[in-house]
Amino acid sequence: MLSGTVSSILPAIVACVAFALCAWRLSLLHPLTLWTASWAASTLLYSLRLLPYRDLGWLTALLICGSIAAFAAAVPLGARLAGRIARRRGAANPPPPTPSGGQPADTRVHVAAVLALGLLAVTLAAFLAHLIAKFGVSHALRISAEVKVYLSSNEAPASGVYVEFAIAAAALCGLACGRASSRRARRGWLLAAAASAATVYFSTSRGFIAVALASALVAAALARGAMPRRRMLASVLAAAVVVVVLFVGLGAVIGKTYGNSSIGQFDNFFSRHPAASSLALPYQDATASIPALDLLVRYSPTFGVAHGCATAPVVCGALRKLGVDVVRVPVAGQFTAVPLQWNAYTFLDRFLIDWGPMLTLVFVALTGLAAGFLWALAGAGSTVGILLYAISAPALVAAYRQNLIELVVVAAVLAVLALLAGGRLSRVQPIADRLAAMRAL
């Protein structure tokens, strides 16, 4: 009993100490701060045991603590690697006067953002047209139970990739907001970013709405340059409040409420204190992944079973079509048993399924290496670096809940392609002149 208690609170102690040190010494948007904040919040809330969760096994506790240590060790290495590459390239190839071949950087970004918004409109229209044709306008727009079941199944339409377009568009609009020269333009781009994120509602995922919003805000903050720490803290807290309100509000709209859940049907803190019942689902969302991870760890083979197909199911799906015999891993995890059914298992779950407990921390370290590399590029003012880090940052914030690597990679590729197209289109004189006239208004 005592051993289970110690193993259950150890991750919270390690994560909270690590987060306190990062928040004190580093930027609030630094990858280490985001990573440790995610684990600290989740493990600390889990340790309160407001719901009757299982004790963590020692292997689970050590994997969580080890992931924090491995990530912390790898981030500085990634930043150092980026600096070394930048110095070599700078010595061999002096940078051009402007990053888009003669046009100002904001022109390239603004064209890319407009292009991404157009692509989002097209893919969203295709997605909704598919749902309306199958279920009717009313069911599609209010996301009925039938639509939710359909979207969570393997029969979901391929046009659902519009979510990745939404995240890419939100990040590009946030970048355009940070690079805008007037308050009016910044407000316009911020509204465009919010609208892009809002379209994710039709996918039934509140979490992905938060991902799109976070990408936009991080891009805007990094593009604006240095921000006073107090103002940055206020912005982060405001964003957190918005996400919680969004979670509760949209949950009520799509039927994910305390009354519709099973939490009130057994003895727990919320059933004994009805006044706090509105916080039950946010608490479950913030904490249930930790004991669910413990279940996954218990049944994970030492070296895993999927060998990459859990982290990259789309790639393995393409290989299967080519006749390669690879493991099929469901995109969504298996649900835990009643009364607390849950199918999210933290950032570690895909790596555990692929490579097992023995190699999971190796891939966490590789993730930290990539995060440090992108952070260094963003800190150096690289437009591509800012864009990629902004899209990647929500994956670090959501580490307590799920692995978003595939979503991040697809959205990042779409955003970079839009940026490259924006660079080419910004050199077309009529487009450049029109954007210049718009900025002069």
pLDDT tens track for 114-160: 999 999 999 999 999 888 888 888 877 777 777 777 776 655 665 56
Say if residues 166 and 212 touch (Cβ distance below 8 Å).
Answer: yes
Integer Cα distance of 194 and 411 in angstroms: 16
Say if residues 402 and 350 touch (Cβ distance below 8 Å).
Answer: no
Pair 424, 365 in one domain = no
Say if residues 117 and 173 touch (Cβ distance below 8 Å).
Answer: yes
Contacts of 238 (CB under 8 A, 6+ apart): none
pTM of the model: 0.89
Pair 184, 109 in one domain = yes
Rg of the chain taking only CA atoms, in angstroms = 22
Pair 324, 432 in one domain = no
Report which of 35, 29, 24 is spatially closest to residue 65, judged by C-alpha positions. 35
Integer Cα distance of 340 and 423 in angstroms: 50
pLDDT at 430: 61
Pair 247, 310 in one domain = no
Contacts of 18 (CB under 8 A, 6+ apart): 32, 36, 39, 40, 68, 72
Integer Cα distance of 2 and 5 in angstroms: 5
Pair 143, 65 in one domain = no
Confidence label for 343 from pLDDT (cuts 50, 70 and 90): confident
Domain count of the fold of the chain: 2
pLDDT at 98: 39
Residue 113 has pLDDT above 80, yes or no: yes
Residue 379 has pLDDT above 80, yes or no: yes
**Average pLDDT score over residue span 4-25:** 94
Pair 252, 326 in one domain = no
pLDDT tens track for 382-431: 999 999 999 999 999 999 999 999 899 999 999 999 999 988 887 765 65
Q: In this structure, is residue 243 part of a structural domain?
A: yes
Q: In this structure, is residue 270 part of a structural domain?
A: no
Pair 23, 60 in one domain = yes
pLDDT tens track for 179-203: 888 888 899 999 999 999 999 988 8
Say if residues 158 and 170 touch (Cβ distance below 8 Å).
Answer: no
With b for 16 or more beta-carbon neighbours within 10 A and e for fewer, the 299-314 pattern comes to: ebeeebebebbbbbbe
In the chain, count H helices and then E strands: 18, 0
Q: In this structure, is residue 253 part of a structural domain?
A: yes
Average pLDDT, rounded, for the chain? 86
Confidence label for 432 from pLDDT (cuts 50, 70 and 90): low
**Residue 95, both tokens:** 């940078």
Q: In this structure, is residue 410 part of a structural domain?
A: no
pLDDT at 429: 53
DSSP H stretches of helix in 254-312: 269-272, 280-287, 289-298
pLDDT at 207: 83
Share of residues in the chain with pLDDT > 70 (%): 87
10 Å Cβ neighbour count for 230? 8
Say if residues 326 and 345 touch (Cβ distance below 8 Å).
Answer: no
Pair 302, 395 in one domain = yes
Q: In this structure, is residue 221 part of a structural domain?
A: yes
Cis geometry, peptide bond prior to residue 339 (ω within 30 degrees of 0): yes
Pair 209, 304 in one domain = no
**Which is more confident, 315 or 234?**
315
Q: In this structure, is residue 262 part of a structural domain?
A: no
Integer Cα distance of 417 and 286 in angstroms: 34
Say if residues 234 and 191 touch (Cβ distance below 8 Å).
Answer: no
Alpha carbon of residue 382 to chain centroid: 21
Confidence label for 30 from pLDDT (cuts 50, 70 and 90): very high
Pair 351, 431 in one domain = no
Domain extent, residue 229, equals: 105-257+420-440
pLDDT at 227: 64
Confidence label for 94 from pLDDT (cuts 50, 70 and 90): very low
Pair 305, 382 in one domain = yes
**Average pLDDT score over residue span 289-318:** 89
Indicate the DSSP class of residue 333. P
Integer Cα distance of 154 and 135 in angstroms: 17
Pair 366, 304 in one domain = yes
Q: In this structure, is residue 282 part of a structural domain?
A: no
Say if residues 239 and 247 touch (Cβ distance below 8 Å).
Answer: no
Confidence label for 317 from pLDDT (cuts 50, 70 and 90): confident
Say if residues 120 and 200 touch (Cβ distance below 8 Å).
Answer: no
